[in-house]
Amino acid sequence: VRGLRVSLSLLLVVLVAPGRSVGAVPTVGTPKEPASSSSAPDEPAPPTTGERALAAGAVVVPGALVHGAGHFVTGESKTARRLLLAEGVGLGMILGGGSVLALTGASRYLAGPAAGLAVGGFGLFLGSFAADAYGVLSPDADAAGRRRRTAAGAESELGYLALSGPHVDEPGYVLQRVSLRAGSFRVTPSALFSTRGTSARYRVEGAYRFLGATPSASGHGTSDHLDVVVGAFHHREPADYVARSSMELQLDTRYDLGHVGPTLRGAFFDFSIGYAAAHIDYDVNGVAVPGDFDSALLGRFGFGAILRGAAYRGSEASLYYDHRHDDLVGGFVMRGLGSGAAGRFGFDARWYFTPNVGVSLHGEVGSAWLGGASLLFREEGPAASTMRGTR
C-alpha cells in the first residue's frame, strides 16, 4: 500500500516539489540531506532493500521522463529536484540546438555551435537519468565518494584493440600510450599500430589543468577538473591510400556529482567540447591527387563512477558518447533516417589492483565495433605519498 501511495503521488511530488521525503521516513521538518555534499552530514539510515527496489522501478517509470524520480522515492528530494533541473536544462539545450539546426536548415554558419549545444544537452539529459539510477542503486556512494583523488605523475598503457565492421581493413591494433604530468601540465603521446603493420595512428596531447587534482595536489576531495587540451594526430592507412592529419583544441571537464547530492558521491559527469582542423592526403599510385581540408566538431560526454572494493584510487568506469567521426570507429550507423549524424558510444573502465599496476577495458560501437584491453602502470606524484595505506 505504501509503495502504491508513493507511485501514485510521485508525479505530483515532482511537480510541487515540497522538499520533504516521501519514500523514506525521516522526521517531518528534519532535512534528510546536508546543505552541501562536502559538509559532514547527519545522514539518516539508508533506504531499505524494498524502498531501493521501488525506487529502482521509479528510475524507469516515470523516471525515464521525469529524471530524479528514483531519488524522490528514497526521500532525497533535493537531489531529485536538481536532477530534474538538469534534465530540463538538457532538454532546453537540445531544443535550442535542434531549433537552430531546423530553422536555419543547418546553416554553414550556425551548424557547429548548434550541434555542440545539442550534444551538451543530450549529455545533461542522459547524465541526469544515469545519475538517478546510480544514486538509487549504489549502496555505498559515500564510501566511494570519500576516496582520495590524485593524478599520477606518469602512467603508461599497453594494450590491444580489436575492430569489427563492414569497412574494417585492419582488425587489430596495438595501443601504446604514455602520460606525463608536471604540476598542472600534462603531455600524452600515444600510438596505435595495426597488427598487420600497414596502418598507424600517432597522437600527442598537451594539456593544462586549471582546476583539479595534479600529482602534487589532491583536488580538494572531488574529482572535478577543467583542462584545456591541444592535440594533434596523424593517421595513415596505406591500404586505403589515405592519411589524415588533425590539429585540435578542446575544453575538457569533469564534474563531481557529489556536488549534486550525497547519494551521487563517487559518480562524475564528463564533458568536453572543441574543434579540429584536418587535412586528408591521398596516396594513389600514379595519380597526383590534391588533398582535402576537413573540420570536425569535437564533443564528448560521459557518466562514470569510481570503483570501490579492492580497486585502488584512480579506478573508475564510464559510459560515454563521442561525437567525433574520424577515429577507428566512426559515427553511429543505423536503420532509418538519421544514420551517420551521431557519433559513437562507448565504455571505458580502469581498475588498479595495486597502487601502481592496473588494467583497462574499452568498448565502442559506431560504424564498427571495438573492444580492447590494456595493462596500466603508473607512478604517483607527491600528493599520493601522503595517502599511502588508503585506497
**Binding site residues, another protein, CB under 8 A:** 102-109, 111-112, 115, 130, 133-134, 137-138, 164-167, 235, 237, 240-242, 244, 275, 278, 280, 282-285, 287-290, 292, 294-297, 305, 317, 319, 323, 325-326, 328-341, 345, 347, 363, 365-369
Give whichever of 106 and 373 is closer to another protein, judged by the CB atom.
106
Q: Measured from the CB of residue 313, what is the shortest distance to another protein in angstroms? A: 17
Q: Least separation, in Å, of the C-beta of 101 and another protein?
A: 9
241/377 with CB nearer another protein = 241
Q: Which is nearer to another protein, 25 or 110 (CB)?
A: 110
Rounded Cα–Cα distance for residues 59 and 129 (Å): 8
From the CB of 369, what's the least distance to another protein, in Å? 6
CA distance 362 to 376: 13
363 in Cβ contact with 196 (< 8 Å): no
Helical residues (DSSP H) of the chain, grouped into ranges: 2-16, 49-60, 69-73, 77-103, 111-137, 141-145, 382-385
| Nearest distance, CB of residue 12 and another protein, angstroms | 28
Q: Which is nearer to another protein, 13 or 161 (CB)?
A: 161
* Residue 160 and residue 373 in contact, taking contact as beta carbons nearer than 8 Å: yes
Whole-number minimum distance, CB 42 to another protein, in Å?
A: 27
- Smaller CB separation from another protein, 366 or 381: 366
The answer to whether the beta carbons of residues 226 and 214 sit under 8 Å apart is no
What would the DSSP string read from start to end of 132-159? HHHHHH-TTHHHHHTS----EEEEEEEE
Question: Closer CB to another protein, residue 269 or residue 381?
Answer: 269
The closest alpha carbon to 14, from 140, 128, 145, belongs to 128
We find the least distance from the C-beta atom of residue 135 to another protein, in angstroms, to be: 11
Minimum separation from the CB atom of position 388 to another protein (A): 27
DSSP one-letter code for 1 = -
Nearest to 216 by CA among 385, 387, 383, 388: 383
Secondary structure (3-state) at 229 = strand
Among candidates 271, 275, 272, which has minimal Cα distance to 297? 275
Cβ-based nearer residue to another protein, 160 or 275: 275
CB of 383 to another protein, least distance (A): 26
Instruction: List, as one string, the DSSP characters of 31-83.
Output: -SS-SSTTS---PPPPPPHHHHHHHHHHHHTTTTTSTTHHHHHTT-HHHHHHH
Task: Return the number of the residue (42 or 140) whose C-beta is nearest another protein.
Answer: 140
